[in-house]
Amino acid sequence: MFEKIDDYPVDPIMIGAEYFAQDPRKDKLNLTVEIYQDELGRTPVLKSVKLAEQHLVDTQNTKSYLALTGDADYCRVLGQELIGAGLYDDSFVAAQTAGGAVALRVMADLLAQMPTRPTVWLQTPTYGNYIPILTAAGARFRSVPYYDTLRRDILFDQMLEGLKEAQPGDIFLLQGVCHNPTGADMTPAQFDALLDLLEARGIVPWIDLAYLGFAQSFDADCTMARQIAARFPECVICVTLSKSFGIYRDRAGALFVKTKPADRARVLRAMSAIVRAGASHAPDHGASVVRTILQDAGLKKLWLQELDQMRQRVARLRLEIAKIEVQNFGRNDLGYLAHQSGMFSLLPVTPEQEAALTREYGIHVVQGGRVNLARLGDKDIEPLLRAVHNVTQPNQGR
């Protein structure tokens, strides 16, 4: 029977990782990874996380099941942290999830099971797992332009123009800070203009938060979610804490759905049923670590310091790339990286030039030109610049 299974598309990130593993060169460079790494290529466990884990070992007295929607204390503490104690109230239905992907899938299932399915509008390019998640759920979706790789610029007016085709009750799935894969975030004025359009057309905002603390600070990076929560009677907030706490394999995330009072009980039952039919119960270790840190002033202070160190390292790398390109090469092709944020950005390369980076220089990137700048060490900057310059010269990498 299994010969009847169709060929499924392979995640571009997994393809990149596989090609890197097969590359025999010792000086190869893997910029495909989806995680923060230090200058030695390590993803260390944060000290604050270690201390919280020890506290759990000493005090946790059961491994019994939690509710289908998870630990209510975790959801409350996290909701107040993200949305603000003054805004987070009973209008939100919350569920603890196994990272952000499960939060996205629960919401996608909820939309797909509505009698009249709304259309989910996506930015292009955007996070590579959105379309597989929406497709698997059977949700409807369309796309609007967001970023031009070769021009290195957000296509803001085109995005707004595309959203004018959306109908009242449709959903716009946007990212918070540190846009993946582009690294290009909207300005505050652009974001305000976007919210104006969504409100005027009755479009429900759905924001996905994955890199809190990697743009300005954890608190500042929650601003977009807070503006949405304050302005819209209905909205959706998904969050993963993998990057912010460095707990990738422990899968801590959450889904927050703001509803009208009359709909709250119905949405809670729907979310519980969807969770039961899928993951059934979210893993609790990562969420307990997060809750422990957020509820302890000393641990929270330490964690924020560690998060700032990760953010500052990535920001420094972006500035160094721009500075070294001007000083050592007399060019400014990648200077835009200094004005973007987060771990990811898109190189201004064609598919042929992207292939040449790997073939000729052993530099592995995700299909579409996405690179994880957090993976770079100081010694990697000049070779990367030289390779990008060489493959983008006329008649090179073609």
Give per-residue pLDDT as tens, 70-88. Answer: 999 999 999 999 999 899 9
Phi/psi of residue 235, each to 5°?
A: -160, 170
CB 369 within 8 A of CB 334: no
CB proximity list for 279: less than 8 A, separation 6 or greater: 97, 98, 102
pLDDT at 383 over 90: yes
Quick count: other Cβ atoms within 10 Å of Cβ 348? 17
| Reported confidence tier of residue 7, pLDDT bands at 50, 70, 90 | confident
CB 146 within 8 A of CB 123: yes
Dist. CA 109–CA 105, nearest whole Å: 6
Residue 248: its pLDDT value, please?
95
- What is the average pLDDT across 18-45? 85
| Reported confidence tier of residue 158, pLDDT bands at 50, 70, 90 | very high
- Two structure tokens written together for 5: 């299974």
Peptide bond before residue 44 is cis, with ω within 30 degrees of 0: no
| Reported confidence tier of residue 290, pLDDT bands at 50, 70, 90 | very high
Identify the CA nearest to 20 among candidates 28, 8, 12. 28
- What is the average pLDDT across 248-266? 95
- What is the average pLDDT across 350-365? 93
Using CB atoms within 10 Å of the CB of residue 174, give its burial: 0 to 12 exposed, 13 to 18 middle, 19+ buried: buried
| Reported confidence tier of residue 38, pLDDT bands at 50, 70, 90 | confident
The more confidently predicted of residues 28 and 291 is: 291
CB-side neighbour CA atoms (13 Å) of 329: 21
| Reported confidence tier of residue 323, pLDDT bands at 50, 70, 90 | very high
| Reported confidence tier of residue 280, pLDDT bands at 50, 70, 90 | confident
CB 31 within 8 A of CB 181: no
- Two structure tokens written together for 225: 């979610």
Query: Per-domain residue ranges for the chain?
Result: 2-45+304-391, 65-295
SS3 of residue 323 by DSSP: helix
Residue 397: its pLDDT value, please?
43
Taking CB atoms within 8 Å and a gap of at least 24, the contacts of 313-319 are 313/38, 313/39, 313/374, 314/36, 314/214, 314/342, 314/343, 314/373, 314/374, 315/341, 317/373, 317/374, 317/376, 317/381, 318/373
Same fold, 2-45+304-391 and 65-295: no
Q: What is the CATH number of domain 2-45+304-391?
A: 3.90.1150.10
Phi/psi of residue 338, each to 5°?
A: -65, -20
pLDDT at 398 over 60: no
pLDDT at 381 over 90: yes
| Reported confidence tier of residue 25, pLDDT bands at 50, 70, 90 | confident
Does the domain at 65-295 match CATH 3.40.640.10? Answer given as yes
Residue 224: its pLDDT value, please?
98
pLDDT at 11 over 90: no
Residue type, 155: L
Dist. CA 278–CA 165, nearest whole Å: 33
Residue 15: its pLDDT value, please?
67
